């Protein structure tokens, strides 16, 4: 463990390296954090665009994300190591060497063994979501673009900009419309009533599974969000991806039950995708 208080990383301890990607709030860099005289930790440094370029609302979202993530410690959730406040605001995170799952699915399919890795990732994401649910958090932005890979064997949930803690007396959170809404990942009750719950995260998890088994394809293709809402309302659902077995597709479909009560729980999903359970199709007896 480092000697830094989590909240406050001095700029002198940070060394900023190559650009990793562009986020909504600013650039993300690879970097090093000095943890003692001779020790450095590889990290990802998320920058916050400077004043003027960014609304207070967006800035708040960035800081909400940072504060939320400071409290979350789980093998399948991206760790935030701390925040550097001056002269600029940086969020220092654990480095996920292989980048986003979306890019990995699209750019490196040859490194993936679908039968082995898709199930493993699905299980790990469900594990992380059980942890979040136990802390009464709804994520609200589960999608392959928001899953990062430390290695081919380990995924981590990231992007907590939209996540919210549920009140003690409520099983759902009501959001006012505004900002970016990933409609294609949202359950019908989120789109129409702005309600978010563990069950709406399960719907998004189903879409994330579909994206994974489709090697990063866009759900509903080019169809505009408004049309997707109508189609889903009428009962239309995404089709079975090529690399997906029937039992796994059935689980995906159950995540997209119109009635939230009929969707599986993350605990069920965590068990379902456990290595010990085999969901590959059994060859029909001759
Ligand atoms: P979006 O909302 O579009 O997902 P964002 O503002 O949340 O964007 P990120 O997705 O967090 O931004 O970061 C943009 C890119 O930077 C990612 O796609 C990924 O390639 C890289 N990145 C972010 N965090 C890390 C990390 N901890 N380790 C490695 N790469 C990272």
Q: What per-residue confidence (pLDDT) applies to 17?
A: 96
Per DSSP, what are the bridge partners of residue 47? Answer: 90
Which residue's alpha carbon is nearest to atom 8 within ligand 1? 23
Q: What per-residue confidence (pLDDT) applies to 54?
A: 67
Reading the block at residue 196, the tokens are: 């978010």
- Whether the predicted pLDDT of 2 surpasses 50: no
> What is residue 109's three-state secondary structure?
helix
The alpha carbon of 171 is separated from its chain's Cα centroid by a whole number of angstroms, namely 21
Between CA 241 and CA 107 the distance in angstroms is 18
Catalytically active residues, by annotation: 141
Q: Is 140 in the pocket of ligand 1 (CB under 6 A)?
A: no
The alpha carbon of 54 is separated from its chain's Cα centroid by a whole number of angstroms, namely 24
Between CA 77 and CA 131 the distance in angstroms is 9
Q: What per-residue confidence (pLDDT) applies to 1?
A: 43
Atom of ligand 1 nearest to the CA of 143: 4
| Distance from Cα 16 to the centre of ligand 1, integer Å | 16
* DSSP-derived pairing of the beta strands 39-47 and 14-22: unpaired
The full DSSP string for 15-49 is: EEEEEEEE-SSSEEEEEEEEEETTEEEEEEEEE--
Average pLDDT on 190-200 reads: 94
> Does 46 count as an annotated binding residue?
yes
Between CA 28 and CA 19 the distance in angstroms is 6
Which residue's alpha carbon is nearest to atom 15 within ligand 1? 21
Which residue's alpha carbon is nearest to atom 9 within ligand 1? 23
Instruction: Write down the ipTM of this complex.
Output: 0.92
Per DSSP, what are the bridge partners of residue 94? Answer: 43
pLDDT digits (tens, 9 = 90+) for 74-89: 999 999 998 888 788 8
Q: Is 167 in the pocket of ligand 1 (CB under 6 A)?
A: no
Who contacts 119 (Cβ-Cβ below 8 Å, separation ≥6)?
248, 273, 275, 279
Between CA 44 and CA 54 the distance in angstroms is 21
Reading the block at residue 184, the tokens are: 């294609």
pLDDT digits (tens, 9 = 90+) for 47-73: 887 766 667 777 777 777 787 788 889
> Among residues of the chain, what percentage have pLDDT more than 90?
67
pLDDT digits (tens, 9 = 90+) for 226-254: 999 999 999 999 999 999 999 999 999 99
């Amino acid at each position: 463990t480092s000697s830094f208080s989590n909240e406050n990383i001095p700029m002198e301890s940070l060394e900023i390296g190559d650009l990793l990607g562009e986020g909504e709030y600013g650039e993300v860099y690879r970097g090093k954090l000095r943890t003692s005289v001779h020790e450095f930790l590889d990290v990802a440094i998320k920058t916050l665009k400077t004043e003027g370029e960014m609304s207070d609302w967006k800035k708040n979202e960035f800081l909400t994300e940072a504060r939320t993530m400071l409290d979350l410690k789980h093998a399948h959730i991206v760790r935030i190591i701390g925040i550097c406040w001056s002269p600029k605001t940086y969020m220092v995170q654990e480095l996920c060497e292989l980048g986003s799952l979306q890019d990995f699915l699209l750019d490196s399919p040859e490194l993936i063994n679908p039968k082995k890795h898709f199930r493993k990732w699905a299980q790990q994401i469900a594990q992380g979501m059980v942890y979040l649910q136990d802390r009464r958090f709804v994520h609200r932005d589960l999608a392959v673009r928001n899953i990062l890979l430390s290695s081919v064997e380990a995924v981590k949930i990231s992007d907590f900009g939209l996540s919210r803690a549920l009140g003690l007396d409520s099983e759902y959170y009501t959001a006012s419309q505004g900002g970016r809404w990933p409609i294609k990942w949202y359950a019908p009750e989120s789109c129409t009533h702005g309600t978010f719950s563990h069950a709406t995260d399960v719907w998004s998890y189903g879409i994330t599974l579909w994206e994974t088994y489709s090697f990063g394809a866009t759900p509903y293709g080019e169809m505009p969000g408004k049309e997707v809402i109508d189609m889903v309302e009428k009962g239309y659902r995404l089709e079975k991806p090529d690399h997906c077995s029937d039992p796994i597709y059935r689980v995906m479909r159950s995540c997209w039950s119109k009635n939230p009560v009929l969707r599986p729980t993350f605990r069920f999903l965590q068990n379902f995708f456990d290595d010990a359970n085999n969901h590959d199709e059994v060859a029909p007896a001759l």
